Structures are given as C-alpha cells and as structure tokens.
Amino acid sequence: MSEEKQWYAIHTYSGYENKVNENLLARLESMNMQDQIFRVVVPEEEETTFKDGKKKVQKKKTFPGYVLVEMLMTDESWYVVRNTPGVTGFVGSQGAGSKPNPLLPDEMKFILRSMGMNERTVDFDVELGEHVTIIDGPFKNQEGVIDYIDKEKFKLTVLVELFGRETPVEVEYDQIEKHN
C-alpha cells in the first residue's frame, strides 16, 4: 500500500466523465476524504473548428471514458472512488478487489501539460499586489506587480512596464522571485 499520492486512471461509462468528476468531488467532500483524494481531472483539449466562416472553440475529451484521480491508495479511498456512481473500475487492476497500478509520473506530466496544467504542486506563497522580479523566460530581469494568480495552472499575471506602460505578462510560479 503506497503512502505517497499518485495518479490513477478510472474508467467511466462513456459520456459520464464530467458527472463522475462532480460525483467524486461531492463524495470526497461529504465523506471527508480531502486528505486522501486530492485532484480529479477529466482530460480535455481545446479543439478549434471553423463553420460558416465562424471560429468555434470547444473542449474535446482527450481520453473518452476516463477520469484521472490524484490520491493516496488506501482501502478507504479505493472504496470511495470505486463506488462512485458512473465509475466502472480502475485501469490497471488485475482482478476484482485488487489495487490498481498508478500512472507513470512522465505520463501524467505529459497529460497535464497538454491540458495547460502543471504536474507540480508548488507551495508558493504569493499575494496580489506583491512586487516580484521575473527570473526566467522572455521577460527575464523585468520587475513587476502580481495582478492575477491562477493556482490551478500554477501561473501568475505580472504587470511589467514595457514601452512606458503597464503590460500584463503570464509567467509560471518558478519564473519569479519575490522581493524581500
């Protein structure tokens, strides 16, 4: 039994991915499982189509029939996920009642990155209005003020001065350094 959190793939009835996501989040809240089940992700990517000269962007399931769960694999967490309405089972289980194999870290890194999310769980304490220096990327050495924090995607919008005016720049947590 693993004591570190890992990602697992669960199989759902086709078309029920979002419902399973909702059900699972509601269950982990009501059953107080937040210390064992951390994130639930329906892998999606944006698909752009043109119809009648109009651009249309819609979300498309990357892996229809699957939902990804970051969790500690315990008897209790396994039971909660396995018995969530719409879940047909874990991927990688060797038989009824057996614990599944986790996804490989490189697989998850690729999936999350392709969704614009990040595999890191950075515990970086920043606040809106805080002064920072960008230490990596095209805006390296620019100083600015944090204008927006996207904790899900580990990104920040920093206002930097470019061409005499404030310009919003999107950076990742590890691309900034806080001022003391």
- Using the structure block, give the residue that is written with the tokens 């759902």: 12
CATH number of 6-115: 3.30.70.940
Question: How confident is the model over 106-160, as pLDDT tens digits?
Answer: 888 888 877 777 555 444 677 889 999 988 888 889 999 999 887 766 778 999 9
CA distance 1 to 27: 22
Residues above pLDDT 90, as percent of the chain: 36
Residue 1 has pLDDT above 50, yes or no: no
**Dihedrals φ, ψ of 105, to 5°?**
-55, -40
In CATH, what is the architecture of 130-178?
Answer: Roll (2.30)
Indicate where the chain has its CATH 3.30.70.940 domain(s). 6-115
Q: Could you tell me whether strands 87-90 and 66-71 are parallel, antiparallel, or unpaired per DSSP bridges?
A: unpaired
Indicate where the chain has its CATH 2.30.30.30 domain(s). 130-178
